């Protein structure tokens, strides 16, 4: 099986506060875009998973501590899977670019293995293990009202997006650590983006 593991971008972003956990409460209008990693996954008759990364953006990924390896260990520990897998990932999504490539890989493998039937309790634990943006990859577009709440946009807006990659690696954690001023939370109203023009104006 070959999976497309799509990247995401924040079309808007406001940082509202810092939580006791160290995470930041944010609001964002986000969407998945058609820049994707290619994941080839198959069962193997062995007692160990084989996970390899290929492509231009593969060289900085840790072989024994990454989102896929950690996800498989967790699912097996919780007895949600019993098989072992050979997984090959062609990394087309730049790392350290805020596009969520590693989290996306885990999300699309999770959806494939559990057929999208995921217990909420288990999901929260996986989210804590993998990253707070895990839930974003279960929607094509939406408004992240808080870290735990997504407003689903039923009418999808088609966008053409140009990405520029300047070969600079940015740590999301480091960037958030430098935030000193916070924005007030805003109420999101779906009727404000009822047309493409309204949506672009809103963004």
The pLDDT tens digits of the residues spanning 42-92 come to 999 998 999 999 998 998 898 889 999 999 999 999 999 999 999 999 999
Residue 189 has pLDDT above 80, yes or no: no
What is d(CA 170, CA 25) in angstroms, rounded to the nearest whole number? Answer: 20
- Composition of the chain by helix, strand, coil, percent to 5: 30, 30, 45
Q: Report how far apart, in Å, the C-alpha atoms of 148 and of each of 14, 60, 120, 123, 167 are.
A: 15, 30, 12, 11, 32
Helices and strands: H and E segment counts in the chain: 5, 7
Which H or E run includes 110? helix 101-114
Q: pLDDT value at position 58?
A: 92
Q: pLDDT value at position 192?
A: 74
Confidence at 130, pLDDT banded by 50, 70, 90:
very high
Confidence at 10, pLDDT banded by 50, 70, 90:
very high
Q: pTM of the full predicted structure? A: 0.91
Q: Report how far apart, in Å, the C-alpha atoms of 178 and of each of 18, 175, 187 are.
A: 11, 5, 26
User: Catalytic site residue 125?
Assistant: no
Selecting among 8, 125, 155, 181, the annotated active-site residue is 8
What are the tokens at 151? 């407003």
Q: pLDDT value at position 191?
A: 75
Residue 193 has pLDDT above 90, yes or no: no
User: Catalytic site residue 133?
Assistant: yes
Residue 107 has pLDDT above 80, yes or no: yes
DSSP state of 153: -
Alpha helices, DSSP H only, in 15-100? Answer: 67-77
β-pairing verdict for 24-44 and 14-18: antiparallel
Q: pLDDT value at position 198?
A: 84
Q: Which of 53, 145, 133 lies closest to 99 in space, CA to CA? A: 133
Residue 166 has pLDDT above 90, yes or no: no
Q: Which of 66, 47, 49, 70 lies closest to 57 in space, CA to CA? A: 66
Which residue segments constitute the domains of the chain, with CATH numbers given? Answer: 2-202 (3.30.230.10)
- Which of the residue ranges 71-75, 97-101, 158-162, 190-194 would you say has the lowest mean pLDDT? 190-194
Helix (H, G, I), strand (E, B) or coil at 172: helix
What are the DSSP E strand ranges found in 128-179? 141-146, 149-152
User: Residue 33 in contact with residue 9, Cβ under 8 Å?
Assistant: yes
How far from chain centre, in Å, is Cα 169? 18
Confidence at 157, pLDDT banded by 50, 70, 90:
confident
Q: What is the mean pLDDT of residues 122-138?
A: 93
Main-chain phi, psi angles of 5, to 5 degrees: -110, 100
What is d(CA 144, CA 141) in angstroms, rounded to the nearest whole number? Answer: 10
Selecting among 133, 140, 156, 158, the annotated active-site residue is 133
Residue 16 has pLDDT above 80, yes or no: yes
**Mean pLDDT for the chain?**
90
Residue 155 has pLDDT above 80, yes or no: no
């Amino acid at each position: 099986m070959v999976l497309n593991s799509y990247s995401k971008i924040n079309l808007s972003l406001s940082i509202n506060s810092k939580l006791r956990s160290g995470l930041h409460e944010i609001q964002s209008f986000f969407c998945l875009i058609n820049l994707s990693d290619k994941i080839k996954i198959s069962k193997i008759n062995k007692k160990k998973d084989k996970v390899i990364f290929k492509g231009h953006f593969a060289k900085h990924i840790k072989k024994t501590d990454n989102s896929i390896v950690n996800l498989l260990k967790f699912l097996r520990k919780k007895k949600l899977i019993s098989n072992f897998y050979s997984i090959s990932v062609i990394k087309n999504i730049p790392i350290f670019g805020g596009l969520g490539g590693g989290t996306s890989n885990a999300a699309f493998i999770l959806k494939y293995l559990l057929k999208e039937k995921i217990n909420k309790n288990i999901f929260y634990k996986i989210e804590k293990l993998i990253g707070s943006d895990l839930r974003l990859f279960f929607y094509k577009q939406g408004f992240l009202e808080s870290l735990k709440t997504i407003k689903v946009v039923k009418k999808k807006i088609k966008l053409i997006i140009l990405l520029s990659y300047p070969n600079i690696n940015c740590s999301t954690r480091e960037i958030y650590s430098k935030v000193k001023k916070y924005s007030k939370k805003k109420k999101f109203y779906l009727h404000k983006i009822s047309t493409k023009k309204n949506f672009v104006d809103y963004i």
